A and B are shown apart, each in its own frame.
Chain A
Amino acid sequence: METKIRVVHYLNQFFGQIGGEDKAGIEPLGKVGAIGPGLLFQQILGREIEIVGTVICGDNYFSEHLEQATDTVLSLIRGYEPQLVLAGPAFNAGRYGVACGAVCEAVSSHLNILAVTGMFAENPAVELYKKSVYIIETQATTLGMKDAAETMAQLAVKLTRGESLGSPAEEGYLARGIRKNYFAAHTGATRAVEMLLRKLKGEPYITEYPMPVFDRVEPLPPLERLSEATIALITSGGIVPKGNPDHIESSSASRYGKYDISGTMALSAQSYETAHGGYDPTYANADPHRVLPLDVVRDLEREGVIGRLYPLYYATVGNGTAVASALEFAREIAKDLVRDGVQAVIISST
């Protein structure tokens, strides 16, 4: 017989049978074996799993000492050397939900151990943690304990065995917003014609990619005194010093570069090139100003049209780069620019 999966269960003071609201301030502690709902998990999956330890923390203590509590809970969990962590289910309890979410998130990101919890869909912790944690959808109250435990247990075992999962609805967890590839039963072309026929007949169909809500930024009012402003150059067209010193990827960039142009009046084909893999590089390589207009901006600076050019420019590759990565780059770059008093930016794309 295979060895059983080692599991640690996280509970609050109430389900951990320490006490009610009066005990909500207790610090994290560990107990060997299963307690409370853990006994139910053990009963459902006794052949597959063994709850080797239970870690308990008071809801108030956790919410008031989020970081410290997470650290302590993590080290207690690590002590049991588990392969899997179950938390809750927390149903509609807000503080308990946050604790379960935080513990699962920390366990998977810091300890690289699989974790599953369960909550009512409207538990405020769902919004906080659904992107990073498998959260089984439960009823609002403990009446749903048995169903929740069964669904959590099934998903947890599948995850531990590395089995492929069905859709969130099939597996009973709340969609995390993470896109994952799979092989469908029919080709994209067959699915498209089928979907169109359903749409034409007014029959129900499910779009395979619901439109995201686009993040639109309101433009700021125009600069009042351009001749006194510091202007910076940013490009997503991949213009980098020759040799691409930061190894910015030709597609799906994971990084950006910042390069000193304080003494540079113009870009030459000998010293700059594009790292971008999404357009014909011939013309950008022959004259990098076609993508990063340093020559013209220097003219404007000399003529006094703009105050001064910021001594660094920033470059990345927009080709297939995730919006989330671009946002991250922008946050970091904006921090530099705001700190150094830059008032306007020219972003050249391709």
Chain B
Amino acid sequence: MVLDLGHIPVEDVEWGPKTLLDGSILQLNREDLVASAWGNDPRIASIETEIAKPGESVRIIPIKDVIEPRVKVEGKGGMFPGLISSVETVGEGRTHALSGCSVMTVGQIVGFQEGMIDMSGPGAPYSSFSKLLNIALVIKVKERISRHEHEVALRMAGLRAAVFLGETGRHAQPVEIQRFEMYPTTQVSRADRHLPRVAYLYMLLSQGLLHDTYLYGRDLKNLLPTLIMPTEVMDGAIVSGNCVSACDKNTTYHHQNNPIINELFKRDRQDLHFVGTVVTNANVTLMDKERSSNYAVKLIEMLGVDGVILSKEGFGNPDADTMMLCAKLEEKGIATTVITDEFAGVDGRSQSLADTTPRANALVSVGNANERIALPSMAKVIGDETIIDKMAGGQPGSLSEQGITAELQVIVGATNELGFELLSSRET
């Protein structure tokens, strides 16, 4: 089982008569892009398109999802199975990725939620998306569309646009090809038997509108934990429907480029055996939490592993799922490392998590999301910055003539719990 992931670096994006990849320049025809995003969705009222480049004085707000344009070149299935392409199993063959750019869906859905990025200034170092060439789709839906329908319309429009742009890379020559090779968990060569067996436990949020995640198009609220080939996520098997308190929600881009999967592959058969990936959810009821954590730990145990990396999504309520999983794994004698962010208060003096277990003795902190940041005004705003007052992490008065003062929570991916960024927090 092999996936070759070819990276095609995009160094600039510009409007032009046709949509095509000219070397490393992605040329976009505006009408075609809009038509591709729109599909034939009758719920959509308008789509405006903008390009935002690193270093520009541009703010994008509110952002719903970020997606990397990719195309399936060889092998079964296509991008975003179950949502855009069929439910054929993906993750094998060859995939091309347009590296360095993204499709970003923009538009207010729920009111309190969604996030922002700045393309320059003090906010830019906190999000990898500030370093991308972002193709923003500002989408409005018709009146009387329910919020749930609104979310679906934006999610699907973003995926369609990403697939449309991904197609431009089908025949391009990748600058770098990463080969990801998987083998049945029982097949370990004699020489490698001394290496520790490590699994990845991929906990995903599944709590309702804008707290949902999709696996092969299936809402994870109804999931019993399951095994997945880590390369499946590179072909879009996991899609975000999720953007509350944007700092620690996984966008689809984060899933496509999951840094834990990359890191485990990098060290596979060098320092460890990457024996499997288990997807689990984080629902709201205690019964669901217990069922999912029991089931996930059982699957991990069946893989016969020594250690687990547990990634988290969200904060507060999912702290309970995380601690439950960690405690149960450690009780089985499986060494566990957890990636989490912190909500230690604006002054950093509060306890950081809503639930704890003494067994969680190896935590990686990806930052205190309550810490405040001052973001000076930008020359251009894509979207609408006045909603910052209601955004999770903002407050009345967050927006002034000088710009925005808010908690780090508002920045998309700033404290991503797949460990995407460099940010951390420590005691001082």
Known: A168-B428, A180-B425, A209-B365. A187 touches B420 (CB 8 A): yes
Q: Which residue of A lies closest to B342 (CB)?
A: A179
Q: Please tell me if the beta carbons of B349 and A178 are within 8 angstroms of each other in the complex.
A: yes
A325 to B347, CA, bound (A): 11
Q: Taking chain B's interface residues, is the majority helix, strand, or loop, or is none over half, making it mixed?
A: loop
Q: With an 8 A cutoff between CB atoms, is B148 at the interface?
A: yes
Q: Which residues does chain A contribute within 8 Å of B125, judged by CB atoms?
A: 183
Per-residue interface assignment for chain A, residues 324 to 345, with 1 indicating a CB less than 8 Å from any chain B CB and 0 otherwise: 1100000000000000000000
Interface size class, chain B: 35 or more
Q: Which residues does chain B contribute within 8 Å of A212, judged by CB atoms?
A: 351-353, 356
Known: A199-B307, A324-B350. A189 touches B418 (CB 8 A): yes
Known: A168-B427, A188-B424, A211-B360. A178 touches B409 (CB 8 A): no
B47 to chain A, nearest CB (A): 25
Q: Which residues does chain B contribute within 8 Å of A192, judged by CB atoms?
A: 260, 263, 309, 311, 337-339, 364, 419
A183 to chain B, nearest CB (A): 5
Per the 8 Å Cβ criterion, residues 259-288 of B in contact with A are 259-260, 262-264, 267, 271-272, 284
Q: With an 8 A cutoff between CB atoms, is B57 at the interface?
A: no
Partner of A280, one of B210, B370, B423, B428: B210
Per the 8 Å Cβ criterion, residues 275-332 of A in contact with B are 276-282, 318-325
B58 to chain A, nearest CB (A): 23
Q: Which residue of A lies closest to B408 (CB)?
A: A181
Q: With an 8 A cutoff between CB atoms, is A23 at the interface?
A: no
A54 to B417, CA, bound (A): 50
B56 to chain A, nearest CB (A): 22
A178 to B390, CA, bound (A): 27
Q: Which residue of A lies closest to B356 (CB)?
A: A211
Q: With an 8 A cutoff between CB atoms, is B104 at the interface?
A: no
Q: With an 8 A cutoff between CB atoms, is A264 at the interface?
A: no
Q: Please tell me if the beta carbons of B349 and A131 are within 8 angstroms of each other in the complex.
A: yes
Q: Which residues does chain B contribute within 8 Å of A193, judged by CB atoms?
A: 260, 263-264, 267, 272, 309, 337
Known: A131-B349, A282-B148, A322-B350. A208 touches B364 (CB 8 A): yes
A165 to B353, CA, bound (A): 25
Q: With an 8 A cutoff between CB atoms, is B174 at the interface?
A: no
A233 to chain B, nearest CB (A): 21
Q: Please tell me if the beta carbons of B347 and A205 are within 8 angstroms of each other in the complex.
A: no
A318 to B355, CA, bound (A): 14
Partner of A187, one of B259, B353, B362, B393: B259
Q: Which residue of A lies closest to B198 (CB)?
A: A196
Q: With an 8 A cutoff between CB atoms, is B39 at the interface?
A: no
Q: Please tell me the number of chain A residues within 8 Å of chain B, measured between CB atoms.
A: 57
Q: With an 8 A cutoff between CB atoms, is A74 at the interface?
A: no
Partner of A320, one of B267, B392, B424: B392
A191 to B367, CA, bound (A): 13
Q: Please tell me if the beta carbons of A325 and B423 are within 8 angstroms of each other in the complex.
A: no
A278 to B110, CA, bound (A): 11
A238 to chain B, nearest CB (A): 9
Q: Please tell me if the beta carbons of A178 and B428 are within 8 angstroms of each other in the complex.
A: yes
Known: A251-B245, A282-B209. A188 touches B366 (CB 8 A): yes
Q: Please tell me if the beta carbons of B419 and A181 are within 8 angstroms of each other in the complex.
A: no
- Known A209-B342, A278-B392; 5 more pairs at CB < 8 Å: A180-B426, A212-B351, A252-B370, A322-B346, A323-B350
List residues of A whose CB falls within 8 A of some B CB: 131, 165, 167-168, 175-193, 195-197, 199-201, 205, 207-209, 211-212, 214, 247, 249-252, 254, 276-282, 318-325
30 sampled A-B residue pairs with Cβ under 8 A: A168-B428, A175-B427, A177-B349, A179-B368, A180-B348, A180-B426, A180-B427, A181-B367, A181-B368, A183-B422, A183-B423, A184-B423, A187-B421, A188-B364, A189-B260, A190-B259, A190-B419, A193-B272, A193-B337, A196-B198, A200-B198, A208-B364, A211-B360, A247-B396, A250-B391, A250-B392, A252-B345, A277-B112, A277-B113, A323-B345
